[in-house]
Amino acid sequence: MSSQDRGRRLNPERGLIELYEADPERADAIVFGRRTPLGRRGFLKGFGLASVGAALGAIIPFARHMPSGLVPVALADEADWVRRLSGAGLTVLNDRPINAETPAHLLDDSVTPNPLHFVRNNGLMPEGADNGEWRLSIDGEVMRPTTFSISDLRSNFRLVKAALLLECGGNGRAGYNPPARGNQWTTGAVANAYWTGVRYRDVLNAVGLKPTAIYTGHYSTDRHSSGDPDKVVISRGVPIVKAMKADTLIAFEMNGEPIPLTHGAPLRVVVPGWPGSASQKWLNRIWIRDQIHDGPKMTGKSYRVPSRPVPPGAEVDNSDMRIIEAMPVKSLITRPETGYHLKHWETLRIGGHAWAGDHVVTKVEVSIDFGASWRRTGLEMPPNRGSWQDWSLALKLPSPGYYELWARATDDQGVAQPMLVPGWNPRGYLNNSMHRVAVTAI
């Protein structure tokens, strides 16, 4: 293993499973503090004791009796998820918690199949839950605090099925320099599935909002990676006006099936076009607030960007950060796959999707000459509000050689994607720069 490989293996953004598979002795050294064969303890510093504690939630009194290279069974569950997600073609960015993104060419379908939908977890997923026993309670600034079962939701409210876009606020983070901490998402923390559920607003109308209600606060059953049962992993919310939009759902089906565990079984919020973090998974409580919700990951620098542009690498005061609401206009080239080769006289079929937060995309253009000229693509209207839009273009390349396909979407406000990474921000959110794909004509 070269020293560069070793550095990569120890990248805290990857995880212990991969490390165990690649280099069990070194993994032991990290987990149990044993000396590595090379005796290079200093090398492990970057990985940090914090992640060791986070990985197991406790010290191991009998560590000295554990066989070398034994994967602690506490990590076996994650190892299984890593196998399943990477088996489906996803790129696993972290295994504890599990985070995985989808390579662009696997997102070609108008509706993303469940196994190809990116997975973003801030903590450890709950154990599987029984749909019949699941309860959602709503309290706070409401007239009639109420607890609903899933069958109550199904029978009391109109069912809605819609294709809805989820994109992680950190999608594209890997493009920022200086780098921002967190999962190094490239382009694949986005997907568009059919979600079935009830309108959030119908449920709020049923329990009756008090005039003081201004924000929602969402709670769920995932567990903090520290192992502390009292620590809430993430509790975010949206302004009441957003919860009252027709395409904001409380969902129990994903593409016509019960929601898979990775995506929030059995009940989740879906707020299309807003940072994915607004779409709480494993939802069991809604607290209606008389102030902006201040749960974990609502405050500080989480899912927030500077209110004014700052130079790359700047220190920004928390009081100068604002909550991210609608995501910016963006597009993805899902065919051809980057690295594609064709005969130069063949027709090149290019296609993908585009989306624009709370807006509609009105134009997607493609350039094959590094932005010198642009061709308009055929763009579909969304099947419903909150869905991404398909676009396509067929063309012939002028001669053999290396080309880059660039795609640029423009929304109904006239706002277009930037060519390069947009304004740097401390946590690396909202990178909507153009997607580029390499093509070689022979």
Binding site for ligand MTE (CB under 6 A): 117-123, 166, 168, 220, 222, 233-234, 263-264, 276-277, 279-282
Report which residue's Cβ sits closest to Mo ion. 168
Q: Which of 106, 119, 168, 251 binds Mo ion (CB under 5 A)?
A: 168
Q: Taking a C-beta distance cutoff of 8 angstroms, is the pair 237, 216 a contact? A: yes
CA 365 to CA 70: how far, in whole Å?
53
Nearer to ligand MTE, 268 or 408 (CB): 268
Helix axes 49-56, 24-32, angle to 10 degrees: 90
Give the footprint of Mo ion on residues 259-278 (CB under 5 A): 276-277
CA 226 to CA 398: how far, in whole Å?
57
Q: Taking a C-beta distance cutoff of 8 angstroms, is the pair 66, 60 a contact? A: yes
Stretch that binds Mo ion, among 160-168, 247-255, 278-286, 316-324 (CB under 5 A): 160-168
213 binds Mo ion (CB under 5 A): no
**Single-letter code of the amino acid located at 39:** G
122 binds, among ligand MTE, Mo ion, none (CB under 5 to 8 A by kind): ligand MTE
Nearer to Mo ion, 279 or 377 (CB): 279
Report which residue's Cβ sits closest to ligand MTE. 276
Minimum CB distance to ligand MTE, residue 254 (Å): 8
263 binds, among Mo ion, ligand MTE, none (CB under 5 to 8 A by kind): ligand MTE
Minimum CB distance to Mo ion, residue 247 (Å): 19
282 binds, among Mo ion, ligand MTE, none (CB under 5 to 8 A by kind): ligand MTE
Minimum CB distance to ligand MTE, residue 398 (Å): 40
Q: Taking a C-beta distance cutoff of 8 angstroms, is the pair 233, 132 a contact? A: no
Nearer to ligand MTE, 276 or 336 (CB): 276
Minimum CB distance to ligand MTE, residue 136 (Å): 13
Minimum CB distance to ligand MTE, residue 278 (Å): 8
For residue 360, list its beta bridge partners.
none
Q: Which of 317, 408, 318, 321 is nearest to 365 (CA)?
A: 408
Q: Which of 404, 433, 406, 358 is nearest to 173 (CA)?
A: 433
Nearer to ligand MTE, 157 or 303 (CB): 303
Nearer to Mo ion, 168 or 203 (CB): 168
Nearer to ligand MTE, 122 or 362 (CB): 122
280 binds Mo ion (CB under 5 A): no
Q: Taking a C-beta distance cutoff of 8 angstroms, is the pair 29, 35 a contact? A: yes
For residue 146, list its beta bridge partners.
138
Give the footprint of Mo ion on residues 293-332 (CB under 5 A): none
Sheet strands side by side (includes 119-120): 91-95, 98-101, 119-120
The SS3 of residue 253 is strand
Minimum CB distance to Mo ion, residue 64 (Å): 40
CA 357 to CA 166: how far, in whole Å?
10
Name the percent of the chain in helix, strand, coil, to the closest 5: 20, 30, 50
Q: Which of 134, 432, 82 is nearest to 281 (CA)?
A: 134
- For every residue of 119-171, DSSP letters joined together read EE-SSBPPPP--GGG-EEEEEESBSS-EEEEHHHHHHHS-EEEEEEEEE-TTT
Minimum CB distance to Mo ion, residue 14 (Å): 19
Contacts with Mo ion by CB under 5 A: the residue count is: 4
Nearer to Mo ion, 96 or 120 (CB): 120
Q: What is the CA radius of gyration of the chain?
A: 23
Minimum CB distance to ligand MTE, residue 92 (Å): 13
Residues in contact with Mo ion by CB under 5 A are 120, 168, 276-277
